[in-house]
Structure 1
Amino acid sequence: MTEMPTMRPEEFWETRYRTNDRVWSGRPNPLLVRETAGLRPGTALDLGCGEGADAVWLATHGWRVTGADISATALDRAAAHAAEAGVTDRTSWERHELGPSFPRGRFDLVNVQYLQSPVALDQREVLRRAADAVAAGGTLLVVLHAGWPSWQTEPPFDHTFPTLRGVLDDLALPEEHWTVQTLESVRRTSTSPDGTEGFRDDHVWRARRTD
């Protein structure tokens, strides 16, 4: 097992995007699609938007989306994806480290998909600020990996994965203002770079702000 990288977050993620033509699949995360199926489109904030797949998918389904990421290269690719999909007028892009800076405003949906990092990230603080950014009647959706893929026989570095109850406790959502609608572990298929079939577990939290 190797030690976690010690690069500054901006340097780490810029390097990752710049040294790869594409990092992600370009398709929306399935749990985003599932969990937003019954929501009325409004304004959305996509934290850690990467190359923009989730944000663009939301925009094509009627949402007006702000995507935020630490990497300028990722945001350039996200803007290009939005242009290709014809939703430039429904998307905007902001660079934030999501610690030192954070998008302003309140949103009908705040989407946080796999905001997990091998370099410095105050995940609890970011999730609390994500909850604060939800407008009255809006939805907070968080999806995080619950462990390494089954085919990962030797973890690349030491990492503590979140628990369902742990994140819910960290969010500290007052019951008089929030209704938790999804609190679930989901197992999905996962294939290694060399084609080994396996699975990976994810946790899902969805909550509605009632006022």
Structure 2
Amino acid sequence: MTDAMPPTQRFWEDFYRDPDRPHSPVGKLNALLVAEAGSLTPGTALDLGCAEGSDAIWLARQGWRVTAVDVSGTALGRAAERAADAGVAELIDWQRHDLSESFPSGEFDLVSAQFLHSPDDHDGRRESILRRAAQAVAPGGVLLISGHAGWPSWNHEPPEGIELPSNAEVLDSLRLEPGGWRVERDEVLVRESTGPEGQLGTREDGILRIRRLR
């Protein structure tokens, strides 16, 4: 019963169990992840907020050993089935975490936080999770953060309670050790966006690729 779950888990379980919500397209690639991680030497990767597994499966297909995390058991179940169908099940460790309460152990050559937004992003919750993500990057490894940097142009009444920080705000909130990191990419991309009623417009996405030097 979702009513007995903590609020964050309940929200995402309801989201993934909604019969009217289309499932994430199987095989759909995250272009930002592909562009930034495609040239990296495969090693160990941590995928935060893995949803139905598209990013984790793509990484595994490139040769990464992936720890993939989500708060929703429903999403993780679908992701595991997809990984088995793709022949990469043995390369992915699926773990359920509410990242504000628990976090996977270990260090990783790549820590990926792709569009890690949630309705309860307030009181520093997302910032705290991303700081923990930075701590999980192994020396020489990469922290890759992508997120919405603004609301779609067709959305004239953005919902309350969800913060969309700038790249500069994200970097500042990470509290990275001076001299211990190098920002390799800091960019805001504008892409086309289509609303739920077919509205055409654009939205901005921020991307940060940061390498740990020591």
Q: Which TM-score applies when normalising by structure 1? A: 0.92
- 3-state SS of paired residue (1:83): helix
Residue 45 of structure 1 is matched in structure 2 by 46
Return the offset for 1:127: 0.3
Structure 1 CA distance, aligned partners of 2:16 and 2:113?
Answer: 19
Structure 2 CA distance, aligned partners of 1:184 and 1:166?
Answer: 13
Return the offset for 1:198: 1.2
Residue 180 of structure 2 is matched in structure 1 by 177
Comparing 16-25 with 55-64, greater Cα deviation is found at 16-25
Confirm or deny that 1:111 pairs with 2:82. Answer: no
Structure 2 CA distance, aligned partners of 1:86 and 1:48?
Answer: 21
Q: Which amino acid aligns with 1:187?
A: V
Return the offset for 1:162: 0.4
- 3-state SS of paired residue (1:142): strand
Higher relative contact order (CA 8 A, sep 6+): 1
RMSD: 1.5
Q: Which amino acid aligns with 1:97?
A: D
Structure 1 CA distance, aligned partners of 2:165 and 2:205?
Answer: 10
Structure 1 CA distance, aligned partners of 2:174 and 2:208?
Answer: 10
Distance change (3 Å), C-alpha of 1:141 and 1:105? same
Answer yes or no: is the 8 Å Cα contact 2:147–2:207 preserved in 1.
Answer: yes
Residue 24 of structure 2 is matched in structure 1 by 24
Confirm or deny that 1:151 pairs with 2:154. Answer: yes
Q: Which amino acid aligns with 1:56?
A: I
Answer yes or no: is the 8 Å Cα contact 2:121–2:161 preserved in 1.
Answer: no
Comparing 162-171 with 173-182, greater Cα deviation is found at 173-182
Confirm or deny that 1:97 pairs with 2:98. Answer: yes
2:209 pairs with one of 200, 206, 209? 206
Residue 78 of structure 1 is matched in structure 2 by 79
Confirm or deny that 1:62 pairs with 2:63. Answer: yes
Return the offset for 1:22: 4.0
Structure 1 CA distance, aligned partners of 2:34 and 2:80?
Answer: 21
Structure 2 CA distance, aligned partners of 1:35 and 1:181?
Answer: 10
Answer yes or no: is the 8 Å Cα contact 1:8–1:120 preserved in 2.
Answer: no
Q: Which amino acid aligns with 1:24?
A: S
Return the offset for 1:175: 3.1
Return the offset for 1:173: 1.5
Structure 2 CA distance, aligned partners of 1:141 and 1:90?
Answer: 20
Long gaps (5+) in structure 1: 1-6
Q: Which amino acid aligns with 2:37?
A: T
Q: Which amino acid aligns with 1:188?
A: R
Answer yes or no: is the 8 Å Cα contact 1:109–1:134 preserved in 2.
Answer: yes
Answer yes or no: is the 8 Å Cα contact 1:9–1:120 preserved in 2.
Answer: no
Long gaps (5+) in structure 2: 1-5
Structure 1 CA distance, aligned partners of 2:120 and 2:106?
Answer: 27
